[in-house]
Structure 1
Amino acid sequence: MEFVGRSTHGYKFKAPDAESLEGLRGLTKMLKNPGHFQEQYGNLLDILKTKVDVMLLNTLVQFYDPIYHGFTFPDFQLFPTLEEYSHWVGLPVLDEVPFHAFGPIPKIPTIAKALHLEVADIKDKFTTKDGLPCLPYNFLHQKATTCFEKSKTDDFESILALLIYGIVLFPRVDKFVDMNAIRVFLTQNPVPVLLADTYVAIHDRTSHRKGTIVCCTPLLHRWITSHLPRPSIRPEPIPWSQKLMTWTPKDIIWFNPSCDPEFVIDSCGDFNNVPLLGTQGGISYIPILARRQFGYYMEMKPVYLILDRDFFLYKKDDANQNVQFEKAWYSIVKKSRSQLGKRAVIAHEVYVQWVIDRANKLRMPYPRQRFATSTVPPIPLPLPPESLEGYQKQLDVERREKSKWEMKYHKKEQECDTLRCLLDQQIRANRQEKEENIKLSAALQKKEDFLDKVCLGRKKRRMDLFDGPHSDFED
């Protein structure tokens, strides 16, 4: 049978230029105390040393699901999460707004203080690249070398960390550290921005089916490889497309015990999910679909979810969504381990069937190498010949009972889904009606106040009319 699926597209991934990368690795060899650097700035050295398999990432993005903002495979899904990125970066997700594209640009004295430099050292070094003020890589590299020679450890480490931010974490302009990277460095809260850049870049480029994906590819590589099975022997040279279409949910490494957060960020503000702000735009992702990646049981299909299919680029943000995203981060909703449900890296049959249906609707980008199934079929035991007839009768009875149960179950399930949808619609309608009433009341009051000002005595006559009997009705 001829394979009919989604078309695949080739993408490029923004990588640091080789010269800058080699220079950075040279600086890391000068570190006198790597442990101290890690305590201050997280796992930047590990990210710097990561070798990226571009073919793996190119294959991965072919599975991107533009509706659920994640990766949908034949019978399972994977989602990069804040908590996992936090684990690999080695820094916590702080309870504050991580990034505001249109906020004030940091002043030169603030930047100089963070880098332990004099204002005069960097005042004339800024140049504009790609519409943003930038500091040259060569200038910062030279300053780091000078600090090392003078045994200024803190100064050396701060400049090295900024260089890794600008060249590896946020690699937009070759051989320059742009102002966005500097701003994120100053917030000391890079994790939400890194995750946002990953989602925004993949969503934007896959929607256009071409282009260069600009994000921290070493971090994306570390995340996806942490979930893929590790062969006990030297792997065979099989294409990634074939491997990913062969692996089952049982092959995937769902839960990393070293990444077991006490709380998971579940939503923010009025959003049902988590809105993320990056250096180029914003997007929301759905943590509830990633519960399995934290070792929790996926027990139902998410048909009742109210999806926040939010995505925007700052240059096209006519609806001013960035302000809504920023506001939402002032009200973070977390869920503790006790609220996340059962501890089990398995999924209910109903949920897995929903994923299979979604994959069929989305169409897979590569030929199937196996049958997707929501359950593991039992292995039949050998039976003696004389029992085959009785076994067949018993099997027929079980099939009829199972069919009746499935029909009854699906009917109740459909009724439940319908009620949920109606309830969600009513909640939204009530909310919208309430907001409209508030706006109308405010507009009416404004009009009344204006008329009272321009029509002398109007307010008194109106109060007399409502507060007591009018003279025309007196005997």
Structure 2
Amino acid sequence: MGHYPSLTKVATSLGIDARELASKKEIKGGIEGFSRINLERCALNLAQSEKWDAFMDVFALIIYGIVLFPNVENFIDFAAIDVFLAFKHERKSHVPTILVDKYHSLTLCHERRGGMILCCLPILYLWFTSYMFKRGGQIEIKNKSEWDHNITNLSEKTISWYSREQNIDEVVCQCGDFLNVPLMGTKGCVNYNPALAIRQLCYPIRSPLVEDSITPFMVYDMTKELDLLNKIRHSWDRVIKKGRELGKRNCNMEGSYQQCQVVMWEKEIVMWVQHVKLPFRGPILIIEETPIQEPMSLEEIENLKKS
């Protein structure tokens, strides 16, 4: 991201004449791209000419720009085009870019204390409910007071931290000189701190986190931070992964981290409730906690099968 493809490359990939494509290029808000109506006309012409491969590419590009990576209304910018071409030619998944944009939007809204999260709200809802409710349980329709009750009674033992379907042997923990994982999307850059989410991969947390490893950073304007963008790109040439050294899989907290985390959890819940202004009426009921069964390792499963 940040170094977009030439018009010639875009035209060749879409099977469109380069001069015709150049005549359709526009600039909105300082951003280069193509209007939705122009690409739809182009797709219609390709369909009438029965050029179905090119039609499907243009149609997919419209979806990328309008649904997956929206920026300016009814406008497909070169950032969305870059992601599409990366998938078309190199089969690079667009899912990480979607997640980066969501992290970026959430962080931006949090820093500015308000704002709109662009698209993909169902993804955020799915993420929230997948951890809040135990797997296998049906999520029924809830009214406002029932959501209040469920959220205020969250505790570390009611969160579904880990899915047994995830068989992850190694975790990306650091990239290059960054002590965490820098990510690049279509809107900007944001870092991901695996130390904060290591428990979601079913590895224990034994001690308080090092401040430098969880310090966030944001890149708002990718056109003005070219040196940092190059540093981020090159950092992915030196990826540091960890696996067995993280310890035996379990969802426990140990030692001094556990005491620190309980206090932080309580403070975060109170702050979040005050910010959202949930209307609590009456005493908060405590959900009965059930013990969490530790997931079995692949080695233990194989031994059971042999037995």
TM-score (norm 2): 0.74
SS at match of 2:144: coil
**Residue number in structure 2 paired with 1:174:** 73
| Pair 1:126 & 2:33 matched | no
Q: Deviations over 1:262-321 (max 9, x none)?
A: 432211001111011223332212112212322x23231333353343223227967953
**Residue number in structure 1 paired with 2:170:** 263
The residue correspondences of 1:64-463 to structure 2 (distance < 5 A) are: 99=1, 101=2, 103=3, 105-148=4-47, 151-188=50-87, 189=92, 190-214=94-118, 216-229=120-133, 231-232=137-138, 234-239=140-145, 240-294=147-201, 296-307=202-213, 308-314=215-221, 320-336=227-243, 338-348=244-254, 350-362=256-268, 363-366=270-273, 369=284
Give runs of ≥4 in structure 1 deviating > 6 Å: none
1-structure distance, mates of 2:50, 2:126 = 33
1-structure distance, mates of 2:209, 2:286 = 24
Summarize the Cα distance change of 1:273–1:134 in structure 2 as closer, same or farther, 3 Å threshold.
same
1-structure distance, mates of 2:223, 2:182 = 17
Contact 1:300-1:350 within 8 A present in 2 as well = yes
* Letter matched to residue 278 of structure 1: G
* Letter matched to residue 130 of structure 1: G
The runs of 5 or more residues in structure 2 that have no matched partner are 274-279, 292-307
CA RMSD of aligned residues (A): 3.3
Contact 2:204-2:246 within 8 A present in 1 as well = no
Summarize the Cα distance change of 1:150–1:249 in structure 2 as closer, same or farther, 3 Å threshold.
farther
| Structure 1 residue 199 displacement after superposition | 1.9
Contact 1:314-1:322 within 8 A present in 2 as well = no
Q: Which has the larger radius of gyration?
A: 1
* Letter matched to residue 156 of structure 1: F
Contact 2:207-2:255 within 8 A present in 1 as well = no
SS at match of 2:23: coil
Aligned residues: 273
2-structure distance, mates of 1:252, 1:121 = 54
SS at match of 1:124: helix
SS at match of 2:177: coil
| Structure 1 residue 241 displacement after superposition | 4.4
Q: Deviations over 1:165-219 (max 9, x none)?
A: 1112211111111111112222234344323222222212211112223364343
* Letter matched to residue 254 of structure 2: H
* Letter matched to residue 116 of structure 1: G
2-structure distance, mates of 1:224, 1:255 = 13
SS at match of 2:212: coil
2-structure distance, mates of 1:258, 1:143 = 43
SS at match of 1:134: strand
2-structure distance, mates of 1:162, 1:221 = 26
SS at match of 2:171: strand
Contact 2:199-2:251 within 8 A present in 1 as well = yes
Q: Deviations over 1:111-152 (max 9, x none)?
A: 112223232442211111121112121232333344455554
Summarize the Cα distance change of 1:137–1:225 in structure 2 as closer, same or farther, 3 Å threshold.
farther
Contact 1:170-1:216 within 8 A present in 2 as well = no
Q: State the structure with bigger RCO (CA 8 A, min sep 6), 1 or 2.
A: 1
Summarize the Cα distance change of 1:127–1:304 in structure 2 as closer, same or farther, 3 Å threshold.
closer
Contact 2:14-2:58 within 8 A present in 1 as well = yes
Give the share of equivalent positions with the same residue, in percent. Answer: 30
